[in-house]
């Protein structure tokens, strides 16, 4: 198993063997955590959804250095900022979209754009998604190299666990999607084993999923497996609940390109989708497609919820994020959380704060 261990300014690769650890019971910490002396300082983690800084559909001026200015301050209000990178940082290579193909999109930004993530405040990116392999193994390898050069960590590869340390708290990030270049969303048993291994390496475990159907009508989280264009996009409810049962402290999602609700499960939060975050001339806009959010959660090192907030964001033409003082996405996520999850749905105050479980 590939594991990335990183502290501030540190980057170390190592390998970890198999484990016979048993699954956590209810929402309790696995035994190995309970026996370890934990730090006492809470840590704040935040998540944003699908992010495309440039592509063949449009490259912003000034090397994209201004693209995230509208949310830059908010992205820096956490110990760790995590996002879904919905493209490659690469040049050349063969696109997955053959000549004359329809309903196929391949996203590629210059490798130099990775530095814009660093400047905006990102610490780690999820590469478990359908666009990480748009330009094959070369595109993915170039993306890794660009992120490493920009001092941004990544997760989402098969069996990959990425661990960062802040304030003495070790946080493991694991990403899942239903693709062979990712840790598999469609193999729940294997996914649980990977999360249990992560609990041995870190105090907190954050799971990212790239799952679900896409489009303006995909705002609800259904029961059962979702399909999009004939592709199995996973059973989001079953998968996320299984990850928390295995020891995950927070589950966040992307993929539908719209906001979905937030659920409490065993005293842990699941944000099924925070919508698109950035896409210069890349994503459809209007209505729910323009609504986004920054999902911010503060946890004790043992996973206990301290506080959380939904920061409303809106994508403005040509697809760049801005804080939305109309709070449209906050109203939407509050409604969806209530409608889809009932008593387990997260409750939000007018300022975006999340009420405790």
Instruction: Kindly report whether the peptide bond that precedes residue 203 is cis, defined as omega within 30 degrees of 0.
Output: no
Residue with tokens 């509208």: 70
Distance CA 124, CA 138 (A): 21
Express as a percent the part of the chain with pLDDT over 70.
90
Question: Angle 236-246/188-201 helices, nearest 10 degrees?
Answer: 30
Distance between CA atoms of residues 190 and 290, nearest Å: 35
Report whether pLDDT(320) > 60.
yes
pLDDT given at position 102: 76
Residue 30: band (very low, low, confident or very high) from pLDDT cuts 50, 70, 90:
low
Distances (CA, A) of 132 to 140, 177, 305: 6, 11, 32
- Angle CA(200)–CA(3)–CA(19) in degrees, nearest 5? 40
Q: Give the HSE-up count for residue 110: Cα atoms under 13 Å, Cβ half-sphere.
A: 12
Judge whether 211 and 225 are in contact, CB under 8 Å. no
Q: Which residues of 268-288 are buried (b: 16+ CB within 10 A; e: fewer)?
A: bbbbbbbbbbbbbbbbebeeb
Q: Radius of gyration of the chain from Cα atoms?
A: 19
- CA-CA distance, 78 to 74, in Å (whole number)? 8
Q: Residue 346 pLDDT more than 90?
A: yes
Structure confidence by residue, pLDDT tens digits, 251-292 = 999 999 999 999 999 999 999 999 999 999 999 999 999 999
Mean per-residue pLDDT of the chain = 91
What's 144-174 look like in SS3? HHHHHHCCCEEECCCCCEEEEEECCEEEEEE
At 35 the pLDDT is: 53
Helix, strand, or coil here: 115? helix
Give yes or no for a contact between 17 and 1, defined as CB atoms under 8 angstroms apart.
yes
Predicted TM-score of the model (pTM):
0.90
**What integer pLDDT is reported at residue 4 of this predicted model?**
52
For 236, the token pair is: 């989001």
pLDDT tens track for 71-104: 999 999 999 999 999 999 999 989 999 777 777 8
Question: Which domains are seen in the chain, by residue range?
Answer: 2-10+26-94+104-344 (3.60.21.10)
């Amino acid at each position: 198993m590939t594991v990335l261990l990183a502290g501030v300014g540190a980057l170390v690769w190592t390998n970890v063997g198999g484990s016979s650890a048993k699954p956590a019971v209810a929402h309790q910490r696995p035994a190995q955590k309970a026996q370890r002396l934990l730090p006492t300082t809470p840590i704040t983690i935040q998540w944003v959804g699908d992010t495309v800084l440039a592509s063949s559909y449009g490259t912003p001026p000034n090397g994209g250095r201004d693209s995230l200015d509208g949310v830059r301050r908010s992205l820096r209000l956490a110990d760790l900022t995590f996002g879904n990178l919905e493209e490659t940082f690469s040049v050349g290579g063969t696109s997955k979209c053959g000549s004359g193909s329809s309903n196929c999109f391949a996203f590629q930004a210059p490798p130099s754009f990775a530095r814009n993530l660093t400047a905006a405040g990102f610490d780690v990116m999820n590469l478990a998604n359908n666009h990480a392999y748009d330009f094959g193994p070369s595109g993915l390898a170039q993306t890794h190299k660009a992120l490493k050069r920009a001092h941004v960590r990544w997760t989402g590869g098969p069996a990959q666990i990425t661990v960062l340390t802040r304030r003495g708290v070790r946080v493991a990030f694991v990403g899942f999607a239903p693709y062979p270049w990712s840790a598999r969303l469609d193999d729940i048993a294997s996914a649980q084993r990977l999360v249990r291994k992560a609990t041995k390496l870190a105090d907190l475990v954050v799971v990212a999923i790239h799952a679900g159907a896409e489009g303006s009508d995909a705002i609800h989280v259904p029961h059962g497996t979702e399909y999009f264009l004939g592709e199995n996009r996973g059973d989001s409810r079953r998968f996320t609940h299984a990850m928390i049962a295995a020891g995950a402290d927070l589950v966040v999602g992307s993929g539908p390109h719209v906001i979905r609700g937030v659920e409490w499960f065993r005293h842990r939060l699941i944000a099924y989708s925070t919508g698109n975050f950035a896409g210069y001339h890349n994503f459809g806009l209007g209505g729910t497609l323009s609504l986004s959010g920054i999902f911010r959660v503060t946890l004790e090192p043992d996973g206990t919820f301290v506080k959380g907030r939904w920061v409303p964001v809106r994508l403005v033409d040509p697809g760049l994020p801005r804080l939305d003082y109309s709070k449209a996405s906050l109203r939407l996520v509050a409604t969806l959380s209530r409608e889809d999850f009932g008593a387990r749905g997260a409750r939000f105050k007018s300022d975006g704060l999340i009420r405790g479980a």
